[in-house]
């Protein structure tokens, strides 16, 4: 059974950094691109970044470009999101999701990031 588990969320001050992890199981991780998406409290879904399988272009949403870095370690079936220069507007539940030719399926349960002084 395909399973994604995010970790690493927490409370952080503006301007600081945080690193999120996504642990994958139940499928051949290296074969799939992976997304990060987020959802601010009471708001809708926003795509954040994608890392393809086997090379290819990494893409970021304009709102995080230059501050966030997505990476993966296929030997550990894991994906990461390094978030620097965090802003209050980055407060959200962060989800990882497997890319299925542009669809997001499945999603992890999410990890909450709160940026507050």
Partner 1 sequence: EIVMTQSPATLSVSPGERATLSCRASQSVNNKLAWYQQKPGQAPRLLISDASTRATGIPARFSGSGSGTEFTLTISSLQSEDFAIYYCQQYHNWPPWTFGQGTKVEIK
Q: What is the bridge-based pairing of β-strands 34-39 and 18-25?
A: unpaired
Part in contact with partner 1 (CB under 8 A); list of ranges 9-17, 19-27, 46-54, 71-79: 46-54
- The footprint of partner 1 on residues 5-34 (CB under 8 A) is none
> Closest CB to partner 1 among 17 and 40?
40
Q: Which two tokens stand for residue 113?
A: 């990031």
Q: Which phi and psi (to 5°) does residue 6 adopt?
A: -90, 155
Shortest distance, position 97 Cβ to partner 1, whole Å: 8
Q: What is the bridge-based pairing of β-strands 10-12 and 18-25?
A: unpaired
* Among the listed residues 7, 13, 88, 109, the single contact to partner 1 using CB under 8 A: 109
> Closest CB to partner 1 among 12 and 64?
64
Q: Give yes or no for a cis peptide into 106 (omega within 30° of 0).
A: yes
Residues 6+ apart with CB under 8 A from 66: none
- The footprint of partner 1 on residues 49-88 (CB under 8 A) is 50, 59-62
Alpha helices by DSSP H, listed for the chain, are none
Answer yes or no whether residue 103 interacts with partner 1 by CB under 8 A. Answer: yes
* Among the listed residues 45, 67, 69, 84, the single contact to partner 1 using CB under 8 A: 45
């Amino acid at each position: 059974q395909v399973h994604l588990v995010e970790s690493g969320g927490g409370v952080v001050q503006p301007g600081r950094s945080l690193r999120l992890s996504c642990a994958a199981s139940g499928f051949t991780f290296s074969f799939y691109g992976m997304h990060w998406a987020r959802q601010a409290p009471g708001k809708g879904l926003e795509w954040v970044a994608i890392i393809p399988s086997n090379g290819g272009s990494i893409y970021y949403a304009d709102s995080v470009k230059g501050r966030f870095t997505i990476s993966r370690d296929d030997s550990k079936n894991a994906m990461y999101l390094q978030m620097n220069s965090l802003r209050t507007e980055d407060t959200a539940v962060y989800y990882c999701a497997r890319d299925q030719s542009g669809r997001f399926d499945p999603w992890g349960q999410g990890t909450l990031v709160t940026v507050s002084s």
